[in-house]
Amino acid sequence: MYGWCGGTPARLLAEVYDPPPRLVAWELDPRVIDACRLGMGLEEVCRAAGGLQVQLGNPLAPAASAPGGFAAVMVDLFIDGKLLPQLMDANVWRTVRSRLADPAKGRVMAHLGPASDEQGRLVPQTVVALNAMARAFDGQVYYIDPPENSQLDVMALTGPLPDKEEWAAAVGPMLAPYTVDWELWTVVDESDFRDAAQYDEEDGEEDEQQPEDEGEEEQEQGRQQREWGDQWGAERRR
């Protein structure tokens, strides 16, 4: 697991599978580990998950690998509530794929954050990250697009997609509802998303500065691009 996610995935796997799969987790933020140790039962989760090991460090570093590779990788990497910028790079996803024991059959599941912002527009980081995953996994990336105005985030799964009935039976009634509604992601033109997806290097905020001498033509082009993004998001949800 790349990202501890409060221990939720490990807890669910321990409840669904007997014996639970062998797990190892890497977490970027020591505050997450401290919070889990103090109030979220870190030791209990580790015992329930069959001796889960939690490492503090960079999940994308070479050390976050295993001899012989992983059967699967779960990715949940955020900094200050924002998707880790490296996850918008296809080469990073190729590195993650190379750490699978069988890159052709092993799977990667990723939490990519919210699908849309408060105005209902698609979040640029999510779009660019899905494109990057699709390029790294030969177009075999499926995603769950949550309903508009829901509190759910986008999840992505590298394919091919399992048989849904067999998948639902394997994970049991607790997780069976999440084996439906997966759609194949089609790489989209991200030219209208790429600039907006970049974070400011100093504070991690999106760079929203506009050129001081921006002319009417540039302003009109920007307005059209925003409208296109709104329409594209609405059509995709329909």
With a cut of 70, say whether residue 201 has pLDDT above it. no
Q: Residue 72 domain-assigned?
A: yes
pLDDT tens-digit readout, 9-55: 777 777 777 777 788 888 887 776 666 666 555 566 666 556 677 78
Contact call for residues 141 and 157 (beta carbons, < 8 A): yes
Q: Residue 232 domain-assigned?
A: no
Q: Residue 28 domain-assigned?
A: no
pLDDT at 213: 43
**What is each CA distance from 146 to 14, 56, 116, 232, in whole angstroms?**
26, 31, 9, 15
Q: What would you measure as the largest C-alpha separation in the chain, in angstroms?
A: 64
pLDDT at 149: 60
Q: Residue 48 domain-assigned?
A: no
Looking at residue 53, its amino acid is Q
Q: Residue 84 domain-assigned?
A: yes
pLDDT at 50: 60
Report the C-alpha gap between 144 and 155 in whole angstroms: 5
Higher per-residue pLDDT: 87 or 231: 87
pLDDT at 228: 39
pLDDT at 19: 76
pLDDT at 8: 75
Q: Residue 173 domain-assigned?
A: yes
Q: Residue 120 domain-assigned?
A: yes
pLDDT tens-digit readout, 99-146: 999 988 899 999 998 887 777 777 889 999 999 999 999 999 999 877
Q: Residue 108 domain-assigned?
A: yes
Residues in a beta bridge with 155 = 111, 144
Domain extent, residue 135, equals: 65-210
Residues in a beta bridge with 27 = 56
Token reading at 156: 């992505």
* Phi/psi of residue 21, nearest 5 degrees: -65, 155
For residues 187-216, give the mean pLDDT: 57
Q: What is the per-residue DSSP string for 151-189?
A: S-EEEEEESSPPPHHHHHHHH-TTTGGGGS--EE-----
| Number of domains making up the chain | 1
**What is each CA distance from 171 to 72, 95, 156, 175, in whole angstroms?**
15, 28, 17, 6
Q: What is the per-residue DSSP string for 72-120?
A: EEEE--EETTEE-GGGG-HHHHHHHHHTBSSTTT-EEEEEEEESB-TTS
Q: DSSP secondary-structure letter at 6?
A: G
Q: Name 151's Cβ contacts closer than 8 Å, sequence gap at least 6.
A: none
pLDDT at 43: 64
pTM for this predicted structure:
0.76
